[in-house]
Amino acid sequence: MTNAPSRLNLDSAALVSNWHALAAMSGSAACGAAIKADGYGLGAMQIVSRLADAGCRDFFVATWAEAEPLASFGVSVSVLHGVREEDLAQAGAGGARPVLNTVNQIARWKQAGGGSCDVMVDTGMNRLGVSVDDIAAGLLDGLQVETLMSHLACADQDHAMNERQRMAFAALAGRTGARRMSLANSAGIALGESYAFDLTRPGIALYGGVPRPEFAGVIRQVVTPEAQILQRRHVPAGASVGYNATFTTTRDTQVAILNLGYADGYFRGFSGTGAALFEERQLPVLGRVSMDLIAIDVSTAPELAEGDWVALDYGLPVAAAASGMSQYELLTGLGERFQRCWTVS
Ligand SMILES: *Cc1c(COP(=O)(O)O)cnc(C)c1O
């Protein structure tokens, strides 16, 4: 799609710089990349090609549908949701390997002939994974395990659970025949090298998310939504703007209507709290975010006219606080109407 009235400016250099920063913080562990949900909404293919060039070798998707287009890159792809009966044909073809999460998945994989796989063990999150006790009882015997994984529930907080999970996971070292062990997501990397084991699995921080204060000043913004001005109008003092008339001008105001809205992932939480940026000037969102449109105050930007482009203020920690959404939702919600434009800053 070309000539769209909205686009995502995607900064290649920032993406690669974030991966190098996370790899450095991972110490001697290899640093992979979680690219599920189409690379957190930015475009998985584009991300894999850039990170593979930078030296990243281990990629994580949720489903086999997400793994399929990546087969040609010659990198390691792990499918986090494991293997259903319906997935066996694709899984057996060898372009990616399953992360086995349940006793049934392990039985299914063994029955289908085994082959290289990863295994998820639950160390306290109670989401996916087999139990430590089942592993101790020999569940993995005869499996060819590439990476034994677990996942941290509270890594973005200083929480006692982090250390409990790390200890439970570390106790499995040398007891499973797995070639590598992997525990840390983005936030887990900031908890220190004892959390890195052999392989880390960052997602959000690659894409500009700052899940812990340690990343401030280290992680660079990758995505900036931009939209074209559809109309510029003068609104006199005392008039309302937008649905339900939630905003009323207190003075004569210049308003620009932009080509994006909550259907694009610019959520209603930005109503009255979001802003666009134009040459260092903040242009506040006025009133409600509509499905396809927002209104911004351009009184301080007289040069902006119909057809001009403006960027949204989308630094993820600040945008999350402004909108009440998580940094993850602000990325994965970005819609298909945006043209995705990769640039190098
Ligand atoms: C999504 C995911 C990650 C990446 O998490 P971030 O918080 O985005 O860094 C790592 N491991 C697993 C199992 C995941 O599901």
Q: Tell me the CATH number at 253.
A: 2.40.37.10
Give me the percent of the chain exceeding a pLDDT of 70. Answer: 100
186 & 314 share domain: no
Active site members: 36, 243
128 & 237 share domain: no
Angle between the N-to-C axes of helices 12-25 and 44-54, in degrees from 0 to 180, rounded to the nearest 10 = 60
**Which of 176, 207, 238 delimits the end of a domain?**
207
**Which of 181, 207, 233 delimits the end of a domain?**
207
Contact between 117 and 109 (Cβ < 8 Å): yes
pLDDT at res. 344 = 86
**Which of 178, 207, 236 delimits the end of a domain?**
207
Does residue 8 lie in a domain region?
A: no
Q: Determine the residue of 40, 51, 156, 201 to mutate for testing ligand 1's pocket, defined as the one with the most ligand atoms within 8 A of the Cβ atom.
A: 201
Tell the residue nearest (CA) to atom 4 of ligand 1. Answer: 203
Kindly list the distances between the CA atom of residue 265 and the CA atoms of 5, 160, 255, 309, in Å, as whole numbers in the listed order. Answer: 15, 34, 22, 18
201 & 227 share domain: no
Q: Which 8-state DSSP code applies to residue 176? A: S
Provide mean pLDDT across the span 170-174.
96
Q: What is the CA radius of gyration of the chain?
A: 23
Does residue 4 lie in a domain region?
A: no
- pLDDT band for position 19 (cuts 50, 70, 90): very high
**Structural domain boundaries enclosing 133:** 32-207
Tell the residue nearest (CA) to atom 13 of ligand 1. Answer: 151
Does residue 240 lie in a domain region?
A: yes
Verify whether ligand 1 is closer than 6 Å to residue 121 (CB atom): no
pLDDT at res. 75 = 96
Q: Give per-residue pLDDT as tens, 290-309.
A: 999 999 999 999 999 999 99
Q: Which residue has the tokens 């790899």?
A: 23
202 & 57 share domain: yes
Does residue 152 lie in a domain region?
A: yes
59 & 203 share domain: yes
Strands (E), the chain: 6-11, 30-31, 33-34, 58-61, 76-79, 97-100, 117-122, 130-131, 145-149, 180-182, 199-200, 223-235, 240-241, 247-248, 253-258, 275-278, 281-284, 294-297, 309-312, 339-343
Give the number of the atom of ligand 1 that is nearest the alpha carbon of residue 99: 13
Q: Give per-residue pLDDT as tens, 29-77.
A: 999 999 999 999 999 999 999 999 999 999 999 999 999 999 999 999 9
Verify whether ligand 1 is closer than 6 Å to residue 202 (CB atom): yes
110 & 227 share domain: no
Does residue 218 lie in a domain region?
A: no
Q: Are strands 294-297 and 76-79 parallel, antiparallel or unpaired?
A: unpaired
Q: Is 335 exposed, middle or buried (0-12, 13-18, 19+ CB in 10 A)?
A: middle
Buried b (16+ CB within 10 A) or exposed e, 44-54: bebbbebbbee
Å from CA of 275 to ligand 1 middle = 29
Q: What angle do CA 67, 184, 14 make, to 5 degrees?
A: 70
pLDDT at res. 1 = 55
291 & 244 share domain: yes
Provide mean pLDDT across the span 133-159.
97
pLDDT at res. 16 = 98
pLDDT at res. 56 = 98
Give the number of the atom of ligand 1 that is nearest the alpha carbon of residue 206: 9
Q: Which 8-state DSSP code applies to residue 164? A: H
CATH of the domain at 39: 3.20.20.10
Q: Determine the residue of 185, 186, 331 to mutate for testing ligand 1's pocket, defined as the one with the most ligand atoms within 8 A of the Cβ atom.
A: 185
Å from CA of 322 to ligand 1 middle = 24
Q: Tell me whether residue 291 is annotated as binding.
A: yes
Does residue 15 lie in a domain region?
A: no
Mean pLDDT value across the chain: 97
Contact between 231 and 299 (Cβ < 8 Å): no
Give the number of the atom of ligand 1 that is nearest the alpha carbon of residue 62: 15
pTM of the model: 0.97
Number of domains in the chain: 2
